[in-house]
Amino acid sequence: MLSHEEHKACPVCNSTERFVDNSRAEVCCARCGLVLDENLIDHGPEWRAFDHEQRDKRTRTGAPLTYTISDKGLNTTIDWKDKDIHGHKIPERNKAQIYRLRKWNKRMRVSGAGERNLAFALSELDRDSSRLGIPRSVREDAAIIYRSAAKNKLIRGRSIEVVVASALYAACRRCNIPRTLDEIAIASNVSKKQVGKTYRFLSRELNIKLKPTSPSDYISRFASKLGLSGEVQAKAIEIINKAVKSGLSSGKGPTGVAAAALYIASLLLGERKTQKEVSEISGVTEVTIRNRYKELSEKIDLVV
């Protein structure tokens, strides 16, 4: 790192060109060699790693900070082993003491009712996210939303499972990885009505402003589950764009429009899928798919 005087000219030759000599911790003029600064602080590690194995073994930073754990991953755990850190066997007279230390260390990690509530909620969040295949970044955002709700005392009188599901639904929408209310409700074992009601309450109280979900956001996920090609996906997105320009998608559920567009695209490109297959994947009824299909095929002049 250069010194704070790196933009000043050399007092001997007036040159602004300089280089850093890391072996001597000095900044020198590139033209005349005058030492301009010395005793630089090395902000790198105090050891050298020649391969990935050495780098992993010598790291001292630990795991990164995460909001998906109640203590944010900052607490330590006393492990139970027969040997100490130096590899020496622990004497029998000390094993009982270490066992008690480990037990009280675990108890102190979750001491109050609020911490127990948070630990349970975050474990539920991790379980629901695993069922839905939610990425780590979205889980972090959902954990932040739940922590904000707990801090503002919005959970009182509500089921923890419902608030967790609502926070996860809001995080998915905010991160542009949409999941339907039906999918969230099934993964969380709560009712769709409760999730929707609590989501609206959280978004109002926490001032979470989200844009309406676009039908195009569901195309790639539905198409991959149906085994459709990229051409069908592109055609479905084209149909959705025409529907949006014509105003046919306003007031309609995004999943229904996406399912109908995929169904039409599969027929147009010869990768035929039945309405029942599309319905099972998208969670939209066959009647809704038929209605959206008729509207799109008639008003956009699609030849099926």
Residue 29 is assigned to a ligand binding site? yes
Residue 13 is assigned to a ligand binding site? yes
Residue 28 is assigned to a ligand binding site? no
Contact between residue 244 and residue 213 where contact means Cβ atoms under 8 Å apart: no
Q: How far is CA 118 from CA 146, 203, 237, 294, in A?
A: 9, 20, 41, 48
Q: HSE-up of 170 (CA within 13 Å, CB side)? A: 31
252 exposure class (CB count in 10 Å sphere: 0-12, 13-18, 19+)? middle
H helices within 189-253, ranges in order? 192-205, 216-226, 230-246
Q: What is the DSSP string of 72-112?
A: TT--------SB-TTSPBPPHHHHHHHHHHHHHHHHHHS-S
Contact between residue 31 and residue 10 where contact means Cβ atoms under 8 Å apart: yes
Residue 175 is assigned to a ligand binding site? no
50 exposure class (CB count in 10 Å sphere: 0-12, 13-18, 19+)? exposed
Nearest-angstrom CA–CA distance, 304 and 302: 6
For the annotated binding site for Zn(2+), the residues are 10, 13, 29, 32
For the annotated binding site, the residues are 10, 13, 29, 32
